[in-house]
Structure formats: C-alpha cells, structure tokens
Amino acid sequence: MAFPQTVRLVEVGPRDGLQNEPEPINTATKLELIERLGAAGLTYIEAASFVSPKWVPQMADHREVMQGIRRRKGVTYSALTPNLKGLEAALECGVEEVAVFGAASEAFSQKNINCSVAESLERFAPVLERAREANVRVRGYVSCVLGCPYEGEIAPAKVAEVSKALYDMGCYEVSLGDTIGTGTPLKAKRMIEAVAREVPMDRLAAHFHDTYGQALANLYAVLEEGVAVIDSSVAGLGGCPYAKGASGNVASEDVVYLLDGLGIQSGIDLDALAATGTWITQAIGRPNRSKVGVALSAQ
Ligand code: HMG
Ligand code: MG
C-alpha cells in the first residue's frame, strides 16, 4: 500500500485529553479549547463524554459543553455515549455524531465500562438503533488493541473480531486504541492487517497513546498500510482513568508536522494548532507534551 494523499485528524483533546485531569477545568476553558481547535482547521472534534459523573467527574459538564459550542460549518462535534442513557442526553444537546467504546480485552472492558465484551456489544446495539433513528452517525472504539494493562498481550484476531462486530452493527468507522501506548510499529502493522481483513481499511482509524514514545512510529507504520484517519490530542494531553500510568494521545501538532513532511494533506494550520497547545497547557498548568509545539513556541 502507498501512503494516503489526505488524512483526517480526529481531535480528541477536549475529551480524551481532559477526562483524566484531577483538578476541575471550567466549562468556559473547554469551550475556548474547542473554538480554537476549530479555528486551527480541525474538522472533527470529540468534545465531551456522556458517561457517569461518578466514574469520570471531569466530563460531568457534558451538557453545558455540548450546548455551549459555537458550531462552525464543516466541523463535526462528537461525544462518547456508552449506553442509551448517554445517547438520549447527548441527543437532547443536539449532538450530530457519537461514539461507543468497547475493548479487545475482557479485563479492561470490566474496569472501564463495568461489563464483559459480549455484554458491551449487547448494550451498543440499541444505542446504534436509536442513533440511526435520530440520523446520528456512530463511531466505534476498540481499546487495548496493542496490549492491555491487566491482560498484557492481546491477539490481533481478538481485535479484528470486536472491530468486525462494531462495524457489522453499524459503526461507520472503527478507531483502534493503543490505550496504554505499548505498541511498536511491526505489531501495529500486523494488527492493522488482521483488522483490515474484516473491516475495510478506509473505515479504520488509529488512536495511539504515546506512553512509551512509539506513537508516531506506529502511525507511520499504519499510514503505510493505508490508514487515513488519525486520532490525536493537542499538546499530547490525556490518558484513560482505567489504564494506570497511561499518558496522553499522540500530540496533534506532532502528527501534523509528520504529515506535512510526508506531503500528506490534513488542512490544518500548524502554527494555530501549536499556539492552541501552548495556551491550553498554560491554562490548565500542564506540561506541553508536543515536541513540535514546544519547538515552535520557542521560536
Ligand atoms: P454501570 O455502573 O455499569 O451502569 O456503568 P448502570 O446502568 O448500573 O448505572 C450506574 C450509575 O451510573 C447510575 O447512577 C446511572 O444513572 C449512572 P446512580 O443510580 O448510581 O446515581 N449512569 C450514567 N450517568 C450519566 N451518563 C450515563 C450513565 N449511565 C449510567 N451515560 C457506565 C456503566 C459505562 C456508565 C460506567 O461504567 C461509566 O461511566 N464508565 C466510564 C467509562 C469512561 O468514560 N472511560 C473513559 C473513556 S474510554 C477511553 O478513554 C478509551 C478511548 O480513548 C480509546 C482508547 O484510548 O483505547 C475511547
Ligand atoms: Mg484514548
């Protein structure tokens, strides 16, 4: 396979990036982040998560965020909805797209969403049905595709099986999460090859966390396989509350710099994105984990 000519970035900073922050972040800051990301050219922004506020307190203002967004033409603002309760609340806020999230690991599924993989798929079916009625597209996540914090190695065949189940159920895209960032390029390539035998390549997205510093290398490997949708988080913010020690997603700035160098179009203004990374990390008192962001801000 050759590299894709264009890549769509799914910016998960406002959700994955912020969900694990211990100190409350006010809604206005989240809304300004979403606004700045849209202004930098991101066309898909995961803005909130309709999960239990007891489980993930940082996302408790999901309604205020979803309703407060100044919507830009051509930008999709999505939210996580693990069950019907979450979906109904999101629909009330005028969400145009949602995501369900499962896992290739039984233990992670239990810790993250309190049910088995099979039960999670049963829960998602009515979410997809209701979303279809409401004309809302559904994205599907699979976590732990390159390793699990509880089970260790995960078989690519298991990732392919869960991905196929989500795709067959009606998820228009399946995002493959290296939740704990332990993957390496050859492993990533083999995993993608296994999944692409069950789900078309142009329906797959790479969602790689950078805990072990391998995310960009892994992305290069799967871009070469033909993956053309990449999830990333401005300034590399983030981590999953149910994967101890897992750090943020690959930084959006670093991905854009890589794509620019490969001559792959993303439509994103790198300077505006880097300025957004500088601003949000200062606003929430976090280090900027984008090397490109730090380098550009030093100029
Ligand atoms: P449960 O306890 O099994 O569900 O939670 P339940 O139906 O028994 O409900 C328990 C309580 O939660 C009830 O409240 C419900 O009302 C409430 P109570 O009666 O105790 O006061 N509840 C809700 N509240 C708000 N919104 C909802 C909702 N549903 C139930 N939608 C549930 C199941 C999934 C809700 C729970 O386990 C949960 O919220 N988990 C949080 C999972 C999460 O957000 N994880 C992080 C995101 S996933 C991720 O980061 C990975 C990803 O980035 C990809 C990757 O990197 O791999 C996507
Ligand atoms: Mg994630």
142 part of a folded domain: yes
Position 171 scores a pLDDT of 98
Q: Is 101 in the pocket of ligand 1 (CB under 6 A)?
A: yes
1 part of a folded domain: no
- The answer to whether residue 244 scores a pLDDT higher than 90 is no
CA of 115 relative to ligand 1 center, distance in Å = 10
Q: How many domains does the chain have?
A: 1
Q: How confident is the model at residue 12 (pLDDT cuts 50, 70, 90)?
A: very high
195 part of a folded domain: yes
Position 246 scores a pLDDT of 75
- The answer to whether 292 and 259 are in contact (CB under 8 A) is no
Position 120 scores a pLDDT of 98
240 catalytically annotated: yes
- Domain carrying residue 247: 8-298
**58: CATH:** 3.20.20.70
Mean pLDDT on 49-56? 97
169 part of a folded domain: yes
104 part of a folded domain: yes
- The answer to whether residue 263 scores a pLDDT higher than 90 is yes
Taking the model in full, what pTM does it have? 0.97
3 part of a folded domain: no
- The answer to whether residue 262 scores a pLDDT higher than 90 is yes
Q: Which ligand is nearest to the CA of 50?
A: 1
Position 242 scores a pLDDT of 76
pLDDT in tens, 160-186: 999 999 999 999 999 999 999 999 999
Structure tokens at 191: 């995993």
Mean pLDDT on 179-199? 98
Q: Is 6 in the pocket of ligand 1 (CB under 6 A)?
A: no
Between 181 and 1, the higher pLDDT residue: 181
Q: Kindly give the number of the ligand 1 atom that is closest to the alpha carbon of 19.
A: 46
CA of 21 relative to ligand 2 center, distance in Å = 14
2 part of a folded domain: no
32 part of a folded domain: yes
